[in-house]
Structure 1
Amino acid sequence: MPNTLMPNDPDRFRLWREVQDMRVRTTLGGIFYLIAWLLCWIFSSAPKQLLLPGSLFSLGFAILLVLRLRHRLPTEHDLDGLLRWRWQHWALLLLNSMLWGLATGCTLLLTPLHDSQLIAALSTIAFSTAAIFNFPMQRLPAACAVLLIYLPALVIMLPQASKNAGVLTTLVFFMLYLMLALKRNHKEYHAGVDLQHQLLEQREQLDLLSRTDSLTQLGNRLQFNNLFELQVAQAQRQGSPLALLLLDIDHFKQINDQHGHMAGDQCLCQFADVMRQVFRRQSDILLRLGGEEFGVLMPGIDLEHARQLGEQFRLLLDEHGLEAQAQPLRLTTSLGLGVFDSARDASADAFFSRVDDALYQAKHQGRNRLCLA
């Protein structure tokens, strides 16, 4: 599943991972319960005499199989929905365990099924082991599943404990082993989930860092390259406007030469802060394209509205300037602005070139101005 669909909150992620694993691991279990019972019934000494119990157990296992397969995960990641799904599915698993426990009991009670006791015993061991190793997410329900699988057989054999001493002792020791294994698997499972969450968080942080300019904390050229064609394609597909504003700080090299690169870095950071003040829509994408060149992608905005915002930014910068090393510094910017036009822009590159030409036109016309593409 894509990362965008994964919950970010650690507790919710653990719960989401748990229900995902339960859904995957439950796929095969239900059908093996049904197959195991059918084998017990078919290989009994008189299958026809067991038509009623055989049919009832078969129907029960078939219904639980369908319910387990059709129990769909919630589409939302809300806590209540995930919790509800988890406990509903545990109820189905426990019903399956209980039904198998009763089926095993029948192999001990019904004479025609005595020939199938070995099949039932092997299946019981397999199902209880699978419960411990496939569903260690919650210790108490998993332990209850094992008890439900074994309990009917143990209760039936207890009155003849002296006769069944070896079998009873073996079952008890095996159950103790399963409980110890459950404790270990429970810890290992949740440790693995926590590790996965940490790795996903680290990957997201690294991905964010790779797309963020470290100085201004705006998007960098890599992010622009990743987003620009997608934004253009979306605007073309939906027929919605997409404005691109390119900004270049005028005579920035003189600032570095006269005041030093540290002052230049301060100017770049303050320039980005002023951009955040003006371009405040949630959909606006603010970028540092490199050096003293910046850009703003504005989806869903027409040319006039985008021009007003660009002029607002230019005038704000022209009137108030910036501050470098605690000293006021006059700073201006040249801007090129355009809106994607499918009739004129054959591609995203063509659109960018058109706006870039407008930026250079603003610089050649004396700077500190906005030119439309």
Structure 2
Amino acid sequence: MTDAEVPRQPMTFALWREVDDTHVRTRLGGFFYLLAWLLTWVFSDSPAQVIGSGLLGIVTFAGLLAARLMHRPKGLTTPEQLQRWLDHHWGLILLTALCWGQAHAWALYRDEYNDSELITTLATVAFSTAMTFNFAMRRGRALLALALLYLPGLILMALDWENRHTLLLTLSFYLAYLVLVLGRNHREYHATLALEVKLLEQQTRLDLLSRTDTLTQLGNRYQFNNLFPSLVANAQRQNEPLSLVLLDIDHFKKINDAHGHMGGDVCLSAFAERMREIFRRDGDALLRLGGEEFGVLLPSTPLQQALELAERFRQGLEQDGLQLDEQRLNLTTSLGVGSFDNRLDRDADAFFSRVDGALYRAKREGRNRLVISES
């Protein structure tokens, strides 16, 4: 997954990170369970005498291995989907632990497996250690997996206390150690995850700042340069309408001269707020392109609808003006409006130039007017 595909919402990112870690750390685990059982069977006293249990173990662990490999986290975008994948995959992990715990107990119980008891015991230690260090993100589930791995064998050892008490005590102490380590690893994992989430939030804020005009809180030119080509490409691909409105405050230099740059800044902020009142759909992108020039990108909006919105903005501004220093400031704007046309616009630059030309014609022809780009 690329950086662009990493979820930006903290909760979604935390689940995505856990899914990714779980998937990476569990891919080879199923293979080692299968290998451990093969060694247990092959090095038993007489593999031919226990061929039934041997083949059953192979089929079981091979099936669990295949299920793990096939259960891939693809196309997961929502927290619900990510959590569902985790629940299902943990089901496979716990089922594998249950099967191995039974296999270990079976090898301890059956005399035919006396020669390979050590293999199953060492494999149990290895699997439980791997569980403690690799799957500490879910402490409760990891504890359950440890219990499933150990308890069947420990119960068999307890029933044969006289012959197996040394091994029983040793494994019990090691299990207690793993429980303590699991708690520490759980805290460390979530501390690291919290740091990643914090860094992601900081990165998101910095990215937002880099794309936002600090004065008006609209998108800036950088945002426009990134967004505009992608919207044009989507309009070409989907054959959907895309309209662009370019606005320029008329005689803005006179406002700066009369009220100073502070007054000019207040005027720009009020102009942007007026834009939000008219162009307020979720899909509309409002931008300050520089100085007193603004733009509005209107996806899925035909030309006629864009004209109606733009003209409503122009008329409302002409009629009401803006409030500046507790007084009404007469203000007008010139607008260029156009809709993307595959027959006229070979790319985003050509589309922008066409609408920009309409804006300049509006200014040349007397300002305070809307001009439609030539089609």
Shared fold by TM > 0.5? Answer: yes
Alpha-carbon distance in 1 for matches of 2:135, 2:122: 20
Kindly indicate whether residue 67 of structure 2 is the aligned counterpart of residue 67 of structure 1. yes
Kindly indicate whether residue 283 of structure 2 is the aligned counterpart of residue 306 of structure 1. no
1:182/1:214 CA distance change after superposition, 3 Å: same
Residue matched to 2:89: 89
Instruction: Specify the code of the residue in structure 1 equivalent to 2:121.
Output: A
Comparing 155-164 with 68-77, greater Cα deviation is found at 68-77
Deviations 1:308-353 (A, max 9, x none): 2222111111111111111211111111122222222222112211
Residue matched to 2:349: 349
CA shift for structure 1 position 4: 5.6
CA shift for structure 1 position 136: 1.0
| Native 8 Å contact 1:74 1:85 kept in 2 | no
CA shift for structure 1 position 290: 0.4
Alpha-carbon distance in 1 for matches of 2:269, 2:25: 51
Residue matched to 2:155: 155
CA RMSD of aligned residues (A): 2.2
| Native 8 Å contact 1:74 1:82 kept in 2 | no
1:303/1:109 CA distance change after superposition, 3 Å: closer
Kindly indicate whether residue 276 of structure 2 is the aligned counterpart of residue 276 of structure 1. yes
Instruction: Specify the code of the residue in structure 1 equivalent to 2:128.
Output: S
CA shift for structure 1 position 357: 1.6
| Native 8 Å contact 1:7 1:16 kept in 2 | no
Secondary structure of the 1:240 match is: coil
Comparing 111-120 with 202-211, greater Cα deviation is found at 111-120
Give the alignment's TM-score, normalised by structure 2: 0.92
Residue matched to 1:17: 17
Alpha-carbon distance in 2 for matches of 1:208, 1:80: 26
CA shift for structure 1 position 83: 4.6
Residue matched to 1:57: 57
Alpha-carbon distance in 1 for matches of 2:196, 2:77: 18
Secondary structure of the 1:217 match is: coil
| Native 8 Å contact 1:74 1:81 kept in 2 | no
Residue matched to 1:42: 42
Residue matched to 1:327: 327
Instruction: Specify the code of the residue in structure 1 equivalent to 2:293.
Output: E
| Native 8 Å contact 2:107 2:120 kept in 1 | yes
1:193/1:352 CA distance change after superposition, 3 Å: same
Residue matched to 1:127: 127
CA shift for structure 1 position 106: 2.7
Secondary structure of the 1:44 match is: coil
Alpha-carbon distance in 1 for matches of 2:223, 2:175: 56
CA shift for structure 1 position 78: 5.8
Residue matched to 1:190: 190
Secondary structure of the 1:149 match is: helix
| Native 8 Å contact 2:10 2:197 kept in 1 | no
| Native 8 Å contact 1:7 1:77 kept in 2 | no
Alpha-carbon distance in 2 for matches of 1:351, 1:84: 45
Number of residue-to-residue matches in the alignment: 372
Alpha-carbon distance in 1 for matches of 2:269, 2:69: 55
Residue matched to 1:6: 7
Alpha-carbon distance in 2 for matches of 1:236, 1:81: 32
Secondary structure of the 1:164 match is: helix
Residue matched to 2:104: 104
Instruction: Specify the code of the residue in structure 2 equivalent to 1:340.
Output: F
Deviations 1:255-277 (A, max 9, x none): 11110111111110110111111
CA shift for structure 1 position 24: 2.9
Instruction: Specify the code of the residue in structure 2 equivalent to 1:279.
Output: F
Secondary structure of the 1:99 match is: helix
Alpha-carbon distance in 2 for matches of 1:148, 1:302: 63
Instruction: Specify the code of the residue in structure 2 equivalent to 1:171.
Output: L
Kindly indicate whether residue 280 of structure 2 is the aligned counterpart of residue 295 of structure 1. no
CA shift for structure 1 position 70: 3.4
Instruction: Specify the code of the residue in structure 1 equivalent to 2:99.
Output: L
| Native 8 Å contact 2:8 2:204 kept in 1 | no
Comparing 46-55 with 191-200, greater Cα deviation is found at 191-200
CA shift for structure 1 position 287: 0.6
Secondary structure of the 2:27 match is: helix
Long gaps (5+) in structure 2: none
